[in-house]
Chains A and B, each alone.
Chain A
């Protein structure tokens, strides 16, 4: 229970309209009702656990038949040939899709991490209260833009822009997707990063400033090391967000099964493949099941990333 410490004495007296003292005046129905209600609350409390397991169970359930009966795991992980609907030679290799996912995510992080942490430091350490409020509101609104709108921007605005600016033949590519993902994952980095910096006690700052250090020296030498774990968690949560993003990458990366050689090559991601192909696959067919297996793969990746982020944060709390 993470309640705040008890405040100063002298809060005004409270009256409780419904609260009658425990005892004979409370009807049996009321007591029973309350205990039923408490059980409902407990059930809701553990619902998150149930749902996480439910997701894993039901996604696995649809794909498990093929996972243990027919899918060649070697081919699945190490082949770049994705031909689920071939009439002559069906191949289910997702290597190109994995590489696609991580190339877009990686480039997005290259862009987002410096900007996100920079913005977090600025908001937390360098900015007046009024600016901070304004910036945080704008960043929050940035986070609210739906991913399909990002995808639409990728197709209609960034696509010709990238062709023009970089003189490349295709505008739907890794860079396009990465720019969108960077903008989408920065807000979470800023807000978690700012929390991490704020969690460093003010006495650290005061001590450093009193020694004659500038604010920047304080940030670099004192705050960043102290908030290291929280900032790492912020980055990891950004990674998780980027790996799982669907609509924006479906529309903006070109959706080509391809190992990219440069940021200007089109790629296809795991999420986009499911979104584009699930509708077609008739329920229970191998293709349908493989898409669910990809879902399990995605679930596992993001679960691991979030788990590590959580452990890292708990590390801060201890240290």
Chain B
């Protein structure tokens, strides 16, 4: 083993490491300093030279129900206005609104209305009243496995399945004799984690605002997860966005009360409000939107933006 040459290069390496470290520390200080997220893309000159040196970014955070949609918008908008970069993240409506209150979001996506308490908090934190924009609609569909013979259900029955003191626990109570492939008569409830807009909206319209869900449901992490799980579990029932249907599941017709004819969720039934579990999708800005945000929101509400709503499986605004 030769030591001397090794030693030399190692000493140099160490010096370089030191320089690197101090650079890191510098970057650390800079990173902590610049909280405002006007990012710089270094060496922005791409081959076609179209990318500008400075990009403004819009933080768009919130509802998981809307995250697909928000992301499709963000992606398409990059072709409309390349100077703006839109950062989308999900996590639930609560996350978005929390981010709005914490001043980390420029636009919060929410699949439910802002609670008055949240509006107060936002006002206290930002000093402005949040502005609300309806950007589309969503029908919350009730899914069962495709082998389930049931095809209609009422809001009361749904509530009795999901409510904390609800009595419906067996498929036979609903008149379903046998589900091929199901290993038991138990209704397996698939739900969402308690921060999601879907969870809170389902509680509001089906379970009852003052009630709680029965413990023991499978609380999935995303809208897709719910449908996937129902598709893999013959005895399951779940609720999720209309746009998430797959060939493995069946969408149930829903009636307001038992005995009434069930309504299939569709663009028409959501618009005329005959489908009982549909809701508007909101975007909130901390105050009056800034120019760039305003331009983005206008584009979302335009025909081009609304076409994407339809393409992603949601319900566009009525014309």
Q: Chain A residues near B195 (CB, 8 Å)?
A: 85, 276-277, 279-281
A282 interface neighbour in B3, B102, B188, B234, Cβ under 8 Å: B102
Q: Which of A10-18, A102-110, A222-230 contacts B (4 or more CB under 8 A)?
A: A10-18
CB A83 to nearest CB in B, in angstroms, measures: 5
Tally of contacts, chain A with chain B, CB under 8 A: 109
Residues in A8-26 with C-beta less than 8 Å from chain B: 14-18
Q: Distance (Å) between the CB of B63 and the closest chain A CB?
A: 11
**CB-contact partner of B102 in A88, A172, A283, under 8 A:** A283
Indicate whether A170 sits within 8 Å of B182 (C-beta atoms), given known contacts A15-B4, A18-B7. Answer: no
Of A83, A87, A163, A256, the residue contacting B216 (CB under 8 A) is A256
B82 CB to nearest A CB, Å: 30
Given that A170-B233, A255-B193, A266-B218 are contacting pairs, would A279 and B3 also be in contact in the complex, using a CB cutoff of 8 Å? Answer: no
Bound CA span A169–B229, Å: 11
User: Is A281 touching B3 in the complex (CB atoms < 8 A)?
Assistant: no
**Any chain A CB within 8 A of the CB of B276?**
no
**Contact indicator A17/B7 (Cβ below 8 Å):** yes
Q: Are B235 and A169 in contact (CB under 8 A)?
A: yes
Q: Chain B, interface size: which category?
A: 35 or more
- Closest approach, in angstroms, between the C-beta of A93 and any C-beta of chain B? 10
Residues of B contacting A172 in the complex (Cβ-Cβ under 8 angstroms)? 218, 229
- The reply to whether B215 and A82 contact each other, CB–CB distance below 8 Å, is yes
Write the nearest CB–CB distance from A63 to chain B, whole angstroms.
Answer: 17
Q: Chain A contacts of B217 at CB under 8 A?
A: 256
Q: Of A87, A167, A170, which is within 8 A of B218 by CB?
A: A170
CB pair B184 A258 closer than 8 Å: no
Does A258 contact B101, Cβ atoms closer than 8 Å?
no
Q: Which chain B residues border A170 with CB–CB below 8 Å?
A: 188, 218, 233, 236
B57: CB under 8 A from chain A? no
Binds A, one of B91-99, B153-161, B291-299: B91-99
**Chain A residues within an 8 Å CB radius of B221:** 250-251, 255, 276
Chain A 229-255 per-residue mask, 1 if CB under 8 angstroms from chain B, else 0: 000000000000000000000110011
**Contact between B215 and A254, CB atoms less than 8 A apart:** no
Minimum CB–CB distance from B186 to chain A (whole Å) comes to 6
Interface stretch, picked from B42-50, B204-212, B307-315, is: B204-212
Distance between Cα atoms of A16 and B5 in the complex (Å): 10
In the assembled complex, which residues on chain A have CB atoms less than 8 Å from the CB atom of B186? 169
- Which partner residue on chain B sits nearest A275 by CB separation? B221
Count contacts on A: residues with CB < 8 A to the other chain: 42
CB of A121 closer than 8 Å to a CB of B: no
B89 to chain A, nearest CB (A): 9
A50 within 8 A of B: no
Task: Give the contacts of A117-168 with B (CB-CB under 8 A).
Answer: 155, 159-160, 163, 167-168
Contact A96 B188 (CB under 8 A): no
Asked if A81 and B215 sit within 8 Å, CB to CB, the answer is: yes
Question: Beta-carbon contacts of A255-287 to B below 8 Å, as 1s and 0s?
Answer: 111100000001010000000110111110000
Residues of A within 8 A of B199 (CB): 85
Min C-beta distance of B25 to chain A, whole Å: 13
Q: Which residues of A have CB within 8 Å of B193?
A: 255, 276-277, 280
User: Is there a chain A Cβ closer than 8 Å to B170's Cβ?
Assistant: no
Contact B233 A282 (CB under 8 A): no
- A279 contacts B216, C-beta separation under 8 Å: no
Asked whether B116 is an interface residue with its Cβ less than 8 Å from the other chain, the reply is no
User: B212: which A residues are within 8 A, CB to CB?
Assistant: 83, 86, 88-89
A281 neighbours in B (Cβ, 8 Å): 94, 98, 195
Q: Is B31 an interface residue, CB under 8 A from the partner?
A: no
List B contacts of A283 (CB < 8 A): 98, 102
Instruction: Evaluate contact between A280 and B215: CB separation under 8 angstroms.
Output: no
Contact across chains for A256 and B219 when beta carbons are under 8 A apart: yes
In the complex the two chains form, what is the Cα distance from A155 to B226 in whole Å? Answer: 12
- Let me know if A282 and B97 touch, CB within 8 A: yes
Q: Are B183 and A280 in contact (CB under 8 A)?
A: no
Near A by CB (< 8 A), chain B positions 164-223 give: 182-184, 186, 188, 193-196, 199-200, 203, 209-212, 215-221
A280 near B91: Cβ-Cβ < 8 Å: yes
- Shortest B170–chain A CB gap in Å is 12
Known: A280-B91, A281-B195, A282-B98. A14 touches B3 (CB 8 A): yes
Are A169 and B183 within 8 A (Cβ)? yes
Contacts A/B (CB < 8 Å), 13 sampled = A14-B3, A81-B215, A89-B212, A169-B184, A169-B234, A171-B233, A254-B218, A255-B218, A256-B217, A257-B219, A280-B195, A282-B97, A282-B102
Known: A88-B211, A279-B91. 16 other contacts (CB 8 A): A17-B8, A18-B11, A83-B194, A86-B212, A155-B225, A163-B183, A163-B233, A167-B183, A169-B188, A172-B229, A255-B218, A255-B221, A257-B215, A276-B221, A280-B98, A280-B194
